Amino acid sequence: MGALPQLIGDRRRNFHPREEDIGPVIEEIEGLIKVYRDGHVERLPAVVEVPCTWAPEPDVVSKDVAVGHSAGLWARFYVPELRKQKLPLLVYFHGGGFCVGSASWRCYHEFLARLASQASCVVLSVNYRLAPEHRLPAAYEDGLAVMRWVTQQASHRGPDELGWWRARCDFARVFLGGDSAGAAIAYNVAVQLGSLGVPACLRGVILIQPFFGGVARTSSEKNTMQSSRSALSLTTSDCYWRMALPPGTDRDHPWCNPLAKSSPKLEDLRLPPLLVCVSELDILRDRNLELCEAMSSAGKSVEQAIFAGVGHAFQVLHNHHTSDARTSEMLTHIRAFINNR
């Protein structure tokens, strides 16, 4: 398993040959990704990748494991070593507009190790397929495959190389979570599971700044000015959706906009309780709040937590002077949400 971060790094960086050989760039998010006319994708090393052996939290052990039989699907576990009792499991999906990001990115490694320690839970951080090579619903399918794998692990009997992890998990208390695009994955996986009948073990879904869109602009999308350090501008958001959605579709596709007319009615969805974390300076603020209001009106259990003075992905990018304080607040909310279920 030690080769996994290197393999994923090779796949996701994809440095390109000469531009004259592959044509002009047709989509670009500066510093992160370029897509060329011939379909070649170049991902830039914007964030340092770290091995699972790097330990930002002294009480948390981390390991990489292959997940199921899907090619390239793997996950990084975070297990609080000092907790003697069995712990709830949080299946987590990283952000990156469905197009960039990795479970081995240092910013996620640090945040999820801290989350595991402070919320007293085991975290499984999923490394799913990326667009535009693998457009939606590929990431949603990977999320569902991971949940099937978790179910298999819960019923596994006998010793093997994953016994160290299973022995620490309370499989009767499983949570889905993610930030940005990862939150959209968590939501869609929960919807798919609900269509099959919500498993009793799924106790809640944690959506951190969920990356949803729509053809009609919200007020925060139109009016919230973003600094050069922002993780998400309106232009960037549109570019991510063009690369992630199936060709020929728009932002009112159900995989993008859960409140669109073409999306399943919220009243008909079977969902566990939701925690939605909203950032005040995020262009997604109003869209996130509209989701909370619609969920509540549809009779769903939803908690919202609003974090003042910070923008998108502050908890991993630390790009606001109050990021550390607000991240501590977020972890307190997540811990309470998990412990109460």
pLDDT tens digits for 258-267? 999 999 999 9
The residue annotated as part of the active site, out of 253, 282, 320, 323, is: 282
Residue 34, beta-bridge partner list:
28, 42
The stretches of 55-134 forming alpha helices (DSSP H) are 106-119
Pairing relation of β-strands 87-93 and 122-127?
A: parallel
120 catalytic residue (yes or no) = no
**pLDDT bucket at 159, cuts 50 / 70 / 90:** confident
Structural domain harbouring 228: 48-340
Say yes or no to pLDDT of 278 above 90.
Answer: yes
In this predicted structure, what is the pLDDT of residue 275? 98
**pLDDT bucket at 20, cuts 50 / 70 / 90:** low
The stretches of the chain forming alpha helices (DSSP H) are 4-13, 19-22, 106-119, 138-154, 163-166, 181-195, 219-223, 234-244, 285-297, 314-317, 323-339
Domain of 140, CATH number, reads: 3.40.50.1820
pTM above 0.75, yes or no: yes
134 catalytic residue (yes or no) = no
CA dihedral 166, 173, 141, 137 (to 10 degrees): -150
Report if residue 8 sits inside a domain.
no
Report if residue 178 sits inside a domain.
yes
The residue annotated as part of the active site, out of 312, 320, 323, 333, is: 312
Report if residue 282 sits inside a domain.
yes
In this predicted structure, what is the pLDDT of residue 21? 60
Say yes or no to pLDDT of 139 above 90.
Answer: yes
Distances 112 to 143, 227, 249, 333 between C-alpha atoms, Å = 18, 26, 34, 15
Report if residue 287 sits inside a domain.
yes
**pLDDT bucket at 182, cuts 50 / 70 / 90:** very high
The residue annotated as part of the active site, out of 62, 117, 180, 230, is: 180
- Rounded to an integer, the average pLDDT of 308-324 is 95
Question: What are the structure tokens assigned to 149, written together?
Answer: 């794998």
- Rounded to an integer, the average pLDDT of 277-300 is 98
Structural domains of the chain, count: 1
Report if residue 38 sits inside a domain.
no
**pLDDT bucket at 164, cuts 50 / 70 / 90:** confident
**pLDDT bucket at 228, cuts 50 / 70 / 90:** confident
Which of 229, 267, 232 is closest to 95 using CA atoms?
Answer: 232
* Rounded (5°) CA angle 119-129-188: 60
Rounded CA-CA distance 186/188 in Å is 6
What is the end-to-end Cα distance of the chain in Å, rounded?
A: 33
Q: Which residue has the higher pLDDT, 229 or 337?
A: 337
Write out the H or E segment, with its range, that includes residue 60: strand 60-66
Q: Is the N-terminal amide bond of 132 cis, ω within 30° of 0?
A: yes
Say yes or no to pLDDT of 36 above 80.
Answer: yes
Write out the H or E segment, with its range, that includes residue 302: strand 302-307
Rounded CA-CA distance 245/338 in Å is 32
In this predicted structure, what is the pLDDT of residue 68? 78
In this predicted structure, what is the pLDDT of residue 200? 86
Say yes or no to pLDDT of 5 above 50.
Answer: no
Report if residue 16 sits inside a domain.
no
Report if residue 162 sits inside a domain.
yes
Q: Give the gyration radius of the chain's Cα atoms.
A: 19
282 catalytic residue (yes or no) = yes
- Rounded to an integer, the average pLDDT of 126-131 is 98
62, 53 contact by CB (below 8 A): yes
pLDDT tens digits for 54-97? 999 999 999 999 997 777 899 999 999 887 789 999 999 999 99
**pLDDT bucket at 325, cuts 50 / 70 / 90:** very high
Question: What are the structure tokens assigned to 215, written together?
Answer: 């053809």
Report if residue 20 sits inside a domain.
no
